[in-house]
Structure 1
Amino acid sequence: MASASQLSAVREVTTITGLSEARATALLTQFNWSLSRAINGYYSGEFRDIRNASNSTSKGSAARKVNTSAIEAIFDNYAEGDAIGVDGTIRYIQDLGLQLEDAAVLALAMVLKSPEMGRFDRREFIDCWQDLTIDSLADMQQQAAAYQKALTSTNPSSDDLALFKSVYQFTFKYNLAPGQRVLPLETAVDYWRLLLGPLAGDHLTAWLDFMTQVYQKSVSKDTWNMFFEFVLYLRQDPLMTEYDPTGAWPSVIDDFVERMKTTDAANTSQ
């Protein structure tokens, strides 16, 4: 029987990746129930076909020995005490070969369990890199580059989209102020531009115009999450001919679609 901690890990994997409980259990079993390593393995493709891994064990998948002291030395190079603050975070991100506005920065914040923007805590930093069997700055750079490539692809794989979705959903809560339940529209617009440009294309420009000129309200978690699903839908039906207004879409998306169709009809009749 699975322990309470294992059941919790299964729930977290299913939430992040969208896997079924059976597949999430197989994935976690393959990575010896290390949550961060399993999630990274799912996104990076470093795992066996978990659909056929019903009896996976840690045998044959044991990670190489990780130099924890090396990870700690990297942390200490940027930290003040037991946390990397804003200045250290800026230096660390730059040393990873990233720009502060890169989408991969959000992926790292998610994977390393950053409690707030511009901060990494010692225990989580060391544990997460150790679970990912990464103990050098060069390997961290490679991992960061892999995240950036996945999050900026115009033709992402299913694994890239799984990472994309989890980073996108993480971004909402990561940017909430204490006690806040909705994102200021200006913040939402900035992160939509950052994250969804490659996926949404011209539709994003139309959406941002609608939100800033017509909607003009803060963004709820439901609207934030469902807009990602809407972007995926648009990749299959860019003209929105099959859009169902009686579906489970938020009303703001219904209004956006109606406006787009009205505008298109008016342009066609001219």
Structure 2
Amino acid sequence: MSKSSKSKADKQMEAQLAQFCGVTGASVKDAKKFLEKYKRVDIAVDAFFNDPTPPRGGHQSSNAPSTSKLNALFETYKDPDGDQITVDGTMKLCEDLGVELEDVVLLAIAYELKSPGVGQWNKAGWTDGWKGLGCDSITTMKPVISRLRDKLGADATYFQQVYNYTFDFARSEGQRSIAIDVAQAFWGLLLPHGLSGGALSHIHSTDDDEDDDMGAEEGWKEEYMQWWFDYLTERGGKGVSKDTWMMFLEFVRTIDARFENYDAEGSWPSSIDDFVEYAKERLAKEA
């Protein structure tokens, strides 16, 4: 074997070692063992995660996440011609994490990592975000992602933080609103998750002059999401404004199932005013 071919082989092995260590958090020694046995990085990584007796000794993870490991992991997914992780890298990341591209938890991750847009991850946000979550490898990220998904569904404050962030995340650069179909896609991810998990539990009406127990008041129903989408489509328009996006969340949490507690004199966007009339007409037709 020539010196040049040796050098090329060495560089290839170094790249494979860096990729394996970045994804798994394993030591170089353990990485060499798996790569020598399985030859391909993807097969070796799968074998590492499926190994019932993970290697001991050698590299030991400290309690504090490693910046160098996160940087190496970032390089694994980064666009080779740029300085960000883009769509292709995001698809590979999701594959390694076992997360579908349409999983709502990606919005929580985007919030935590300060993603500038769909399928985009900057190195600073990536490193600081994962360190803040206590992760520096795919292995440690997986359980954290599961906890984030549960938190997003159950924690009203956290849900609102992610929901508010999603508007700017989804908005195209230079635009003040987001396209209706894009807004519908993100509403379709977020709202069912918050409703089923309890983060969007109905806020009951109160009436100090009545002795009636308002605790049984029924709130927003699942089918009303499609009504909202139908209304937006029929109304037309260029997009959904930030005001409508933000206020719609409060509307969903507070409106009753018959739309009777809606305050038309309140500071609601006109789009929500009109939707209430639209919804009442549909209810009347179904009665």
- The 5-angstrom pairing of residues 53-68 of structure 1 reads 64-68=63-67
- Equivalent in 172, 176, 181 of residue 171 of structure 2: 176
For residue 229 of structure 2, what is the aligned residue in structure 1? 208
Gaps of 5+ in 1: 1-62
For residue 139 of structure 1, what is the aligned residue in structure 2? 140
What's the offset of the Cα at 1:82?
A: 3.8
1:142-183 CA distances to partner (integer Å, 9 max, x unpaired)?
1222222334x4xx3xxx222221221111111222211011
Cα contact 1:106–1:171 (8 A) shared by 2: yes
What's the offset of the Cα at 1:70?
A: 2.2
Q: For 1:174, what is the secondary structure of its paired residue?
A: helix
Scaled by the length of structure 2, what TM-score is found? Answer: 0.63
Distance 1:114 1:143 in 2: 17
Distance 2:286 2:70 in 1: 59
CA RMSD of aligned residues (A): 2.1
What's the offset of the Cα at 1:116?
A: 2.6
Q: 1:228 to 1:162 in 2, by over 3 A?
A: same
Cα contact 1:89–1:119 (8 A) shared by 2: yes
Distance 1:104 1:181 in 2: 25
What's the offset of the Cα at 1:102?
A: 1.0
Distance 1:233 1:212 in 2: 24
1:187 aligns to 2:166 (yes or no): no
- The 5-angstrom pairing of residues 89-128 of structure 1 reads 89-128=90-129
For residue 226 of structure 1, what is the aligned residue in structure 2? 247
For residue 260 of structure 2, what is the aligned residue in structure 1? 241
Q: For 2:177, what is the secondary structure of its paired residue?
A: coil
What's the offset of the Cα at 1:232?
A: 1.0
Cα contact 1:102–1:148 (8 A) shared by 2: no
For residue 150 of structure 2, what is the aligned residue in structure 1? 149
For residue 69 of structure 1, what is the aligned residue in structure 2? 68
Cα contact 1:182–1:218 (8 A) shared by 2: yes
What's the offset of the Cα at 1:65?
A: 2.8
1:194-232 CA distances to partner (integer Å, 9 max, x unpaired)?
221342621111111111123544111000111111111
Q: 1:217 to 1:84 in 2, by over 3 A?
A: closer
1:28-80 CA distances to partner (integer Å, 9 max, x unpaired)?
xxxxxxxxxxxxxxxxxxxxxxxxxxxxxxxxxxx943322222222222123
1:76-129 CA distances to partner (integer Å, 9 max, x unpaired)?
221236422221111112212211111111211121112232221222211222
For residue 259 of structure 1, what is the aligned residue in structure 2? 278
Distance 2:277 2:66 in 1: 57
Q: For 1:120, what is the secondary structure of its paired residue?
A: coil
For residue 57 of structure 1, what is the aligned residue in structure 2? none
Cα contact 2:133–2:144 (8 A) shared by 1: no
For residue 88 of structure 2, what is the aligned residue in structure 1? 87
For residue 78 of structure 1, what is the aligned residue in structure 2? 77
Q: 1:250 to 1:64 in 2, by over 3 A?
A: same
Cα contact 1:185–1:217 (8 A) shared by 2: yes
What's the offset of the Cα at 1:266?
A: 3.9
